Amino acid sequence: MKKYDILVIGSGGGTKLVTPPSKLGYKVAILEKDRLGGTCLNRGCIPSKMLIHPAEILAQAKDASKFQLGIPGPFSVDFKTLVERVSATVDADSDSIIPAYEKNPNIDFYPHEGRFVENKVVKVNGELITADRIFIAAGCRPSIPNIPGLAGTPYMTSREALRRTELPKRLLVIGGGYIGLELGFAYSAFGSKTTFIVRNRMLSHEDKDIVDGFEKAFSKREDVRLGTEVKKVDYKDGIFRLECKNPSETYILEGDALLVATGIKPNTDWLDLQHTDIQTDEKGYIKTNEYFETTADGVYALGDTIGRYFFRHSVNFEGEFLFNSLYVDKRRTPVEYPPVPHSVFTHPQVAAVGKTEQQLKEEGTEYISAINPYSSSATGMARLSEDQFVKILVSPKTRKVLGAHILGDEASNLIHLFILLMTMGGTLDDLLKMIYVHPALPEIARNAARKAREILSSS
């Protein structure tokens, strides 16, 4: 049986444990059943943001008249060429990984699925391999709800929606989370008449003020059906017919394409974990402790597959943490995550770091809340910002920011001020010490901090 120092299953964030240890002389095997680079590169963050950027340009152009600009419409997109460019870019990036691995004598790449036959033995393409340490970074895939009539229809998940080259006239989206909203927004901006069917509320994991604000802002531009369940799907002659039910009525929605974006499930069913001591929770996510150790000796797991965070930036952090603790410091170290931020790349954007107001209430943590609208600062005035704001939650005792929540232009960039502050353990006063460029976007965040200072000094 072939033996390695390191065996990695999954080439997304798992790659953090491939090239870096190989450079220190460790022999590494990497197994990938799909395209190298994982979800983010091939069917996630990167292609989606390459579509969302031009969609954002169109969304801005549609707003041009409010700035007394006569940018002539109708706006159009060469959707086929755009999608082909995006696909070619990510495919080239993925393809470039193989030659790099082939050149490296310490890396063996297995372009196959790996399945466990016992605790530390994996069968790949008929061959048994083992390693001192095995890292499982097997990721997740779309989870499809059990709606009568849906199975067998040509619905899209994010995977197909990112590669489709024909823009549908009418798009139906089921799901009000990250994927449904980001991809639905892009298709809508490109010209598909898009309807968002949302079982409860949009972005329900966000702070309640963000949920309220986002729903209000998004619904001004998009056809949004909140509190609506899809009871039945029918597909005939190229048309989807969805039976939709809300508390007051049942009706049919028609579309030429259907995007199902109702969450994800772990790929652990591809690993044959029943042959090992590796335990999973009731949803199939691998159980790990603070060292990313599974319940089998020498086997670690990270990323989406452990069900903690579902972002490329979080699995990158976890992979780098494991590499540093196990192969650089060579010390068994418990993980301490710095604040983990997130952003939803819609129009308007959403970004957050730290706790929501609801979480602080539930924990019984003391806080004050300060909200500053974009429109109250110079750059917000220039942008004619509506419905956009920065909200911060501050501890009256320590004056530390416990949570920051942004709805508005460039929220995914603006949030970094708070990520840095919270990571460094700074206070409101640190945020107010520095000189801000006038009139730049971060002044909006500073003004929220000033409001918090006022609230604290008057209480």
Ligand X SMILES: NC(=O)c1ccc[n+]([C@@H]2O[C@H](COP(=O)([O-])OP(=O)(O)OC[C@H]3O[C@@H](n4cnc5c(N)ncnc54)[C@H](O)[C@@H]3O)[C@@H](O)[C@H]2O)c1
- From the annotation, which residues make up the binding site for FAD? 49, 114, 304
Q: To 10 degrees, what angle do helices 178-190 and 45-62 make?
A: 50
Does residue number 228 form part of the binding site for ligand X (CB under 6 A)?
no
Q: Does 31 bind ligand FAD (CB under 6 A)?
A: yes
What gap in Å lies between CA 191 and CA 209, rounded to an integer? 30
Asked if 303 is part of the footprint of ligand FAD (rule: CB under 6 A), the reply reads yes
Is 438 one of the catalytic residues?
yes
Q: What does the angle CA 38 – CA 40 – CA 45 come to, to the nearest 5 degrees?
A: 165
CA distance 293 to 82: 43
| Single residue of 14, 180, 266, 341 touching ligand X by CB under 6 A | 180
Listed residue (421, 371, 363) closest to 393, CA to CA: 371
314 binds ligand X (CB under 6 A): no
User: Cβ closer to ligand FAD: 32 or 56?
Assistant: 32
User: Is position 145 an interface residue for ligand X (rule: CB under 6 A)?
Assistant: yes
* Positions in 73-132 near ligand FAD (CB under 6 A): 113-114
CB of 365 to ligand X, least distance (A): 25
Helices (H) and strands (E) in the chain, counts: 15, 21
Q: How many residues does the chain have?
A: 459
Instruction: Choose which of 21, 28, 44, 230 interacts with ligand FAD (CB under 6 A).
Output: 44
Q: What angle do CA 22, 28, 32 make, to 5 degrees?
A: 120
Say whether residue 190 binds ligand X (CB under 6 A): no
Please list the alpha-helical segments (H only) found in 14-70: 19-23, 38-43, 45-62
Nearest CA to 82 out of 193, 192, 191, 190 is that of 190
Helix, strand, coil content of the chain in percent (nearest 5) = 35, 25, 40
Binder among 7, 8, 34, 296 for ligand FAD (CB under 6 A): 34
**DSSP code at position 296:** S
Task: Check 53, 342, 405, 438 and give the catalytic one.
Answer: 438
Of 14 and 180, the one with the shorter C-beta distance to ligand X is: 180
| Feature table: binding site | 49, 114, 175-182, 263, 304
Q: How far is the CB of 182 from ligand FAD (least distance, A)?
A: 7
The Cα 280–Cα 134 span in angstroms is: 16
Query: Based on the number of CB atoms within 10 Å of its own CB, is 438 exposed (0-12), middle (13-18) or buried (19 or more)?
Result: exposed
Of the pair 343, 369, the CB lying nearest ligand FAD is at 343
Instruction: Give the neighbor-by-neighbor strand order of the sheet with 193-197.
Output: 223-225, 193-197, 170-174, 257-260
Binding mask 141-160 for ligand FAD (x = CB under 6 A): -----------------x--
In the bound state with ligand FAD, the residue whose beta carbon lies nearer, of 314 and 356, is 314
Contact stretch for ligand X (CB under 6 A) within 163-171, 176-184, 239-247, 372-380? 176-184
Beta bridge partners of 26: none
The interface partner of residue 12, options being ligand FAD, ligand X, none and the CB cut-off 5 to 8 Å by kind, is: ligand FAD
- The residue range among 79-87, 173-181, 214-222, 333-341 that interacts with ligand X, by the rule CB under 6 A, is 173-181
Alpha-carbon torsion angle 314, 317, 319, 325, nearest 10? -140
Can you tell me which of 108, 113, 182, 207 binds ligand X, judged by CB under 6 A? 182
Helix (H, G, I), strand (E, B) or coil at 291: coil
Instruction: Report in angstroms how near the CB of residue 301 gets to ligand FAD at its nearest.
Output: 9
Asked if 409 and 441 touch (Cβ cutoff 8 Å), the reply is yes
Interface of this chain with ligand X, residues 336 to 365, rule: CB under 6 A: 342-345
Contacting positions for ligand X (CB under 6 A): 145, 174-180, 182, 198-200, 261-264, 310-311, 342-345
Contacting positions for ligand FAD (CB under 6 A): 9-14, 31-34, 38-40, 44-45, 48-49, 113-114, 137-139, 158, 179, 267, 270-271, 303-305, 310-313, 315
Residues serving a catalytic function are: 438
